[in-house]
A and B are shown apart, each in its own frame.
Chain A
Amino acid sequence: MAEMMYWEAIRRAQDEEMANDPMVFLMGEDIGVAGGTYKATQGLYKKYGEHRVIDTPISENGFTGLGIGASFLGARPIIEIMSVNFAWLAMDQIFNTAAKVRYMSGGQLEAPVVVRSPGGTAHQLGSQHSARMEKVFMGIAGLRVVTPSNPRQAYGLIKSAVRCNDPVFINEHERMYNMKGEVPDEEFFHPLEGSDIARPGRDVTLFGYNISVHWCLQAAETLAKTYGIEAEVVDLYALNPLDRAGIRESVTRTHRAVIVEEAEPAVGVGAEVMAIINEECFFELDAAPVRVSALNVPIPYNHKLEVAALPDVDDVVNAVRGMFGL
């Protein structure tokens, strides 16, 4: 078991999949000669050449559509969109083609593309570089959405996504590329569906995904030490489809739920998880579920304003305290 950074895990997965299948190729802005904005493709241009590690023009909809078209013939493109904010420009091809082509062709065509992109806020990147778009992607029928919270998941999810015959959107995070974690030395494939219990508990479930899993884990420590509340943390690494059974089982154990998301609350992960709780296990609840979300504002540039707009560990702790009347 080696410790590596999130970006190194992504790089390793891509390297292995390229070595495994000559039809796997990488496309994106600055991923080749420059090695990738987040180093996730470092060294691969030299190893596999310009035809398989392709520096694209800044044409997100164009190169995403090109990757999708190539996948129709059995190619396995991994498309890196430099920032999820730019994925809006590629939404036509992701939404209208990749997600729908299997269905509207009656099963004749499929688009086994992987689109990787960092979402989330970083440090004072301003409104147009701080989007959290997972809520948009997870609502699209025909598109799988996964979002790794650690290097192990990042590695294993990419491996499975490349081989899966569905289009998969991988929502990474700007602030997580340098996060360290253990990744098994031997090859492994992470399931694209389900959820993980990141910390077992009995009093309340904290649902997180991607970066918010870490806020939940920190909040759980504080809740245990300070208030004697044992929180279970559930890592929703798959956002489409969401793990209905996993959500039901955890809430049935703890009878309370807090959903923590970095995005604005409307039509988001929190709203969807709450709906699932309602549908699956409403009568198990001892308290109304709560969501911890960003404010409903474009992300500001000023540091203090930015912090104010985003949820943090204290917000999670306070949400649980409120639930217990503490």
Chain B
Amino acid sequence: MSINDKGVIAGWHYDSGFSFRGFTLANGVYTMINNPKGTASGGGTQVFDINNSGAMVGRYNFDFAFIYINGIFKDVKDPIYAIRVEGINDYGYVSGEANAFYPNSSKLFTAHCQ
């Protein structure tokens, strides 16, 4: 769960089927943020961070990183590693873990994504 300078909170919760659901909370209004690819049973969408432009990062179906910009979900992929993206700043730089499925051999990273 994170909060940007405009006071918009982004995060996730479990639904009644124990799948993840992403959301934003702005001025008392909840908006669901759910990646259409996040349909796996028990999967869903987790939103980890939001920047001041409203871009968000998170994951869907446990293993797939995404960035959400201007209402569009885009996968974040590395040519070699499986990755997990957890943070995003106002310039579109993201932070996370590469080769995240194998924690004992993973590296951390930053990258510019759009």
Answer yes or no: are A and B bound together in one complex.
no
Residues of B bordering A, CB below 8 Å: none
Residues of A bordering B, CB below 8 Å: none
